[in-house]
Chains A and B, each alone.
Chain A
Amino acid sequence: MQAITIKDFEDWRAVARVLIANATRPSEVQLFEDDGQQALFAEDPTLRQAPTAQSSFGVPSRFLSLAESVGCHRAAGRWDLLFRILWRIKNEKKNLLEIETDDDVLQLTKMEKQVRRDAHKMKAFVRFRKVVQDGQEFFVAWHQPDHRIVRRVAPFFSRRFSGMNWTILTPDECVSWNQESLEYGSGVSRSQTPQSDELEELWRTYYASIFNPARVKIKMMKSEMPVRYWKNLPETDLIADLLAEAPRRVEEMIEQHEGFDKTADDFIKRFPNQLMTLSALKQMAAGCTACHLHCNATQTVFGAGPANARIVLLGEQPGDQEDLTGDPFVGPAGEVLEEAIGSAGLDRRELYVTNIVKHFKHTQISSPESSRPPRGKKRLHQKPNAREVRACRPWFDAEWSCLKEAEKLVCLGATSAKAVLGPGIKLTDQRGRVCGSDYCQQTFVTWHPSVILRASNAAARESKMRELIEDLVLAKDSV
């Protein structure tokens, strides 16, 4: 039995070459790890001779790359295993590696996988800390790999961080990159690494925030990020707290809801199509409590107009007067609309007029401070929010499907225009032209008459009114 000490992969390669040339069998030799001590036995100096033409031979390139990788493994028996497989490839079967269920091959591929995984984890788990010295930035990391992989992985870091000065410290070996070349040094202890980096708090915030407490899978986390790496990762001490809080957070998420349990849909009784009429809908809508707006309003203000109307006007919501009378557009804004309809050569009695939200949303305020004594509460219009629009919208959808001859839809104001054409639209961009919608090709948008009431001066009022009339004319005349 011959005992040989192996320094590294290149050394093994040289020795193995000679052993094969000498027809030494695996059972006749034992390959030891070089532990830095004097060899126990005097070794044959011819073992490390340069290869000659006779002694060199070919092996499958796959074996070489596997062997180089397994050479980094920490297991003591790796040099023997490699030599045994080499010998078998030479003497037993050239394609030995293709038989993956062979016990030697199985062992080889398993060790190769361990090294590859360790190298991959090094690429993943090295954490640099920034140090500034003489105005120059350096990035320093401490890492404890399972195997001797520093030289296998260092080139990856030099490609990735080519424009940085960095150093990776490990117990076996250290490596530095100065933006030009890699330099290796001997291993160090952890105490030589910088203790903190100001970015770590942000990173921990990110880690805690990206975690979804509703999908806890600890086993999966531990298999991919084994616990032995945790001590060098700044984020992992958050794990215990994140897990402890997870059940409570999920319960809260499941229990807490926003918005309304219902929409108008829940109040629409499903009649056969031919029995569904506007007046039946109006009756159903009178009892609608889908959103909370009904609480402070007098009544539901449903649309009004003939069932055979060809043009439909859609406003935002009823106002103070409408809320009291129960009919749409009967207050001051209604008067402006009436005037515009007339000027456009239309007849209101032929139009169907309605709102996208059917209850009056308002706040109560004391009337403005003035010399006059207060006159009690005044109801001030409030814009309905998207949630209220969504809850109420099925009423308009149902109205639309009852209006069998409707072929043109005019949205008055941004609230209804956005509900019909999408939230990204701008009234100023869309008015004055035909815009197709899910309801009908001939959809138009224009000013809400209340804009004209609120205009700050006569000129603005006039121009807005002119545009409203123009838009109604456009709707009337377009085909």
Chain B
Amino acid sequence: MASERYQSLDSKLAILADAAKYDASCASSGSKSTRKGSQIGSTEGMGICHSYTPDGRCISLLKILLTNYCIYDCQYCVNRVTSETPRARFTVDEVVDLTLDFYKRNYIEGLFLSSGIIQNSDYTMEQLTLVAKKLRKEHRFGGYIHLKTIPGAAEELMADAGRWADRLSVNIELPTELDLKQLAPEKKKPEIVEAMTGIKEKIDERKSDQKKGMKPPRFAPAGQSTQMIVGATATPDNEILKTASELYTGQSLRRVYYSAYSPIPHADSLLPGKSPPLIREHRLYQADWLLRFYGFEVNEIVVRKDLNLDLEIDPKLAWALQQRDYFPVDVNTASREQLLRVPGIGARSVKRILSIRRHKRIRTDDLKKLRVAWKRTKSFVITEDYNPALADLDRDDLQRLITPAAKQLDFFDTFDAALRGEL
């Protein structure tokens, strides 16, 4: 009976979705065209979030584990072998059917499938790939598929996974090798990096084949991403950002996700029992943006002596407060690079300023109309008209003027704005 089938699925789904929720990645963007011959499903570049849970995170993909049985003992993970969490395992067909059933009702953009390590890396990877392959070949599914790959799995298995998936990811898990040794003794950084390099090489190879006029089969058209857990160890932000920066340049990753270590049910006693450091996570995302789109270097971004980002102000403002000599910047004459460094002005506003500048001189009102964060911007810019706030630029208490004490508690305003659509 269908209803009995749904009941058994229901209890498995509750366990295996719960077990998957600590993975921050939910992006469904990046695959620019739908696979040919698709009957159900499309990927047209932009991701769609089909729902939002009260944690403010979007539901774009059906994010589940194939199984939460795991032979590893990673301390931060609810699914580690020593945890007493309830266990379940989907069959390959159950995941295939669930994905299609959800997709056909327009609940989801596709599937994000991960798994605990069962038997060994190869076997686990094979099972994950089988789901993707079945969806593509037997059901002509054209929706988004993100597979979490298992470091240490054979190269042929990775190649197969990339053929059917839109995105592959290998979790770096923790920022440094020492952190891994402490909390994930079975995971080895060289193995993780090797897996990433393998994926990168295949993506590059396909691109160069395409340039030569060949038509190679698809390989992870939406690239690869990774996730780092923040706050489970004492490693400071500059180490975290250094690792991220290396991954962006060395491995051409599309995204590094930062996941504030969240208390988990069945937590191991060795880990901090506390609320997740959400503000820190948010500052790391802001810093990540500065690295990728604003021309900043890691060693510029972290300005504090303890090598962490300032929790009270955004990293660009923190940098600007330390580099007063760089300012004021004249919005009517400054270069793109200079404008990008002004607090409160985002990359999109910079583009608009440059475009408007060709036709008229920019006044303070124009900046307000562009909805730059004027409060943070005003003491750093010269405009066509008189800007009285400029007089504050050299004041010692400028930070307090910009973020009065009462306001500092309200971190979540900026938090929401910056994360919108990005997670």
Decide whether A and B assemble into one complex: yes
> Chain B's nearest CB lies how many Å from the CB of A383?
13
21 A-B pairs, CB-CB below 8 angstroms? A99-B360, A101-B365, A123-B48, A128-B105, A163-B40, A197-B105, A209-B14, A209-B17, A215-B57, A215-B278, A217-B412, A220-B419, A220-B420, A221-B56, A224-B52, A225-B51, A253-B265, A253-B267, A258-B84, A386-B82, A423-B81
A257 x B72 contact (CB < 8 A): no
The chain A residue sitting closest to B101, CB to CB, is: A199
* Contact (Cβ within 8 A) B20 A210: yes
Asked whether any CB of chain A lies closer than 8 Å to the CB of B102, the reply is: yes
- Contacts A101-B366, A163-B39, A263-B270: A258 and B106 contacting too (C-beta < 8 A)? no
Interface string of A236-253 (1 = CB under 8 A from B): 000100110010001011
Residues of A within 8 A of B292 (CB): none
Interface contact A259-B268, CB-CB below 8 Å: yes
Contact yes or no, B13 A205, CB < 8 A: yes
Judge whether A218 is part of the interface by a CB distance below 8 angstroms.
yes
Complex: A211 Cα to B21 Cα, angstroms: 7
**Docked pose: A112 CA to B81 CA in angstroms:** 52
B311 at the interface (CB under 8 A from A): no
Who on chain B is nearest to A424 by CB? B120
Q: Kindly identify which residue among B39, B58, B266, B356 contacts A98, using a CB–CB cutoff of 8 Å.
A: B356
Interface residues of B in 40-72 (CB under 8 A from A): 40-42, 44, 48-59, 62-63, 71-72
0 or 1 for each of B202-226: is its CB under 8 Å from A? (1 = yes):
0000000000000000000000000
Whether A455 is near chain B, meaning CB under 8 Å from some CB there, is no
A100 to B140, CA, bound (A): 44
How close is A214's CB to chain B, nearest CB, in angstroms? 5
B22 touches A259 (CB 8 A): no
Interface segment among A76-84, A154-162, A317-325, A360-368: the answer is A154-162
A267 to B5 alpha-carbon distance, docked (Å): 52
Chain A's closest residue to B120 (CB) is A424
The closest CB in chain B to the CB of A162 belongs to: B39
A212 touches B57 (CB 8 A): yes
Q: With an 8 A cutoff between CB atoms, is A126 at the interface?
A: yes
Say yes or no: B276 contacts A215, CB within 8 Å.
yes
Is residue A201 contacting chain B, with contact meaning CB distance below 8 A? yes
B274 touching A223, Cβ below 8 Å: no
Q: Are A202 and B40 in contact (CB under 8 A)?
A: no
With A202-B13, A206-B17, A258-B84 known to touch, is A214 a contact of B356 (CB < 8 Å)?
no
Is the pair A201, B416 in contact by a Cβ cutoff of 8 Å? no
Cross-chain contact A423 with B416 (CB below 8 angstroms): no
A364 to B8, CA, bound (A): 38
Q: Is A207 an interface residue (CB 8 A)?
A: yes
Q: How far is the CA of A263 from the CA of B366 in the complex (A)?
A: 62
- Number of residue pairs A-B, CB distance < 8 angstroms: 230
Q: Does A17 make an interface contact (CB < 8 A)?
A: no
Looking at B41, B263, B415, which has the most chain A CB atoms within 10 Å of its CB?
B263
Quick check: B105 and A98 within 8 Å, CB to CB?
no
Q: How large is the interface on A (under 10, 10 to 19, 20 to 34, 35 or more residues)?
A: 35 or more
The contact of A130 among B105, B273, B352, by CB within 8 Å, is B105
Contact with B along A159-187 (1 / 0, CB 8 A): 11111100000000000000000000000
A390 located at the interface, meaning its Cβ lies under 8 Å from any Cβ of chain B in the complex: yes
Q: In the assembly, what is the distance between CA of A101 and CA of B419, in Å?
A: 26
Q: Is B262 touching A215 in the complex (CB atoms < 8 A)?
A: yes
Using A99-B359, A202-B13 as known contacts, say yes or no to A221 and B102 having CB atoms under 8 A apart. Answer: no
A46 contacts B by Cβ under 8 Å: no
Which of A160, A161, A239, A385 touches B82 (beta carbons < 8 Å)? A385
In angstroms, how far is the closest chain A Cβ from the Cβ of B271?
Answer: 8
Task: Report if B407 contacts A (CB, 8 A).
Answer: no
Please indicate the chain A residues that have their CB under 8 angstroms from the CB of B338 in the complex: none
Given A199-B101, A206-B17, A224-B49, 17 more contacts at CB 8 Å? A98-B355, A99-B360, A100-B356, A101-B370, A106-B369, A128-B104, A130-B105, A159-B34, A160-B41, A203-B102, A206-B62, A209-B18, A209-B21, A211-B53, A220-B416, A225-B52, A258-B82
Given A201-B10, A256-B265; A212-B22 close (CB under 8 Å): yes
* A-B interface, 8 closest residue pairs, ranked by CB to CB distance from nearest: A217-B56, A220-B56, A163-B39, A209-B17, A387-B82, A211-B53, A423-B71, A424-B120
> What total of chain B residues lie within 8 Å of the partner, measured CB to CB?
87
Instruction: Verify if B121 is at the interface (C-beta below 8 Å from A).
Output: yes
User: In whole angstroms, how far apart are the Cα atoms of A106 and B38 in the complex?
Assistant: 40
Write out the residue numbers on chain B whose beta carbons fall within 8 Å of the beta carbon of A156: 42, 44
Q: Which of A126, A164, A212, A223 contacts B262 (CB 8 A)?
A: A212
Cα distance, A93 to B358, chains bound together (Å): 13
Q: A-facing mask of B259-292, CB < 8 A → 1, else 0?
A: 0101111111110011110100000000000000
Task: Name the B residues within 8 Å of A386 (CB-CB).
Answer: 73, 81-82
| B359–A424 touching, CB < 8 Å | no
Kindly provide the distance from the CB of A135 to the nearest chain B CB, expressed in whole angstroms: 15
Interface check B9, CB cutoff 8 A: yes
- Please, how many angstroms separate the alpha-carbon atoms of A252 and B266 in the complex? 10
When the two chains form the complex, which single residue of B83, B274, B278 contacts A258, counting CB atoms closer than 8 Å? B83
For residue A422, CB closer than 8 A to chain B, the reply is: yes
Q: B residues within 8 A CB of A120?
A: 48
Q: Taking the nearest CB of chain A, how far is it from the CB of B44, in angstroms?
A: 8
- At the interface, yes or no: A125 with Cβ under 8 Å from chain B? yes
Cα distance A254–B273 in the bound complex, in angstroms: 5
Is A203's CB under 8 angstroms from B107's CB? yes
Give the chain B neighbours of A128 by CB distance below 8 A.
Answer: 104-106
- Beta-carbon contact of B186 and A258 below 8 Å: no
Q: Which of the residues A233, A256, A260, A387 comes within 8 Å of B51, measured between beta carbons?
A: A233
Least distance between A136 CB and chain B CB atoms (Å): 14
Which chain A residue has the least Cβ–Cβ distance from B107?
A203
Indicate whether B249 reaches chain A with its CB closer than 8 angstroms.
Answer: no
- B388-423 vs A, CB cutoff 8 Å, 1 = contact: the mask equals 000000000000000000000000100110011100
Q: Are B13 and A95 in contact (CB under 8 A)?
A: no
A217 to B417, CA, bound (A): 12
The yes or no answer to A347 lying at the interface (CB within 8 A) is: no
**Chain A 386-397 interface 0/1 with B at a Cβ cutoff of 8 Å (1 = within):** 110010000000
Distance between Cα atoms of A64 and B72 in the complex (Å): 58
Asked if A259 contacts B270 (CB within 8 A), the reply is: yes
Take A130-B105, A218-B56 as given contacts and tell me if A424 and B71 are in contact as well, using a CB distance cutoff of 8 Å.
yes
Nearest-neighbor residue (CB-CB) of B362 within chain A: A101
Contact A198 B6 (CB under 8 A): yes
| Chain A residues with CB under 8 A of B365 | 101
Is B299 interfacial (CB 8 A cutoff)? no
Given that A101-B356, A201-B10, A250-B263 are known contacts, is A258 also in contact with B269, CB under 8 Å in the complex? yes
A124 within 8 A of B: yes
Chain A residue numbers with a CB within 8 Å of B56 are: 215-221, 224
Q: Is A129 in contact with chain B by the CB < 8 A criterion?
A: yes
Contact across chains for A214 and B71 when beta carbons are under 8 A apart? no
Contacting residues, chain B, for A263 (C-beta < 8 A): 270
- Do A203 and B52 touch (CB < 8 A)? no
- Asked if A214 and B105 make an inter-chain contact with CB atoms under 8 angstroms apart, the answer reads no
* Given known A98-B355, A199-B102, A258-B83, contact A212–B267 (CB-CB < 8 A): no
Residue of A nearest to B15 (CB): A209
Most B Cβ at <10 Å: residue of A126, A130, A224, A385: A224
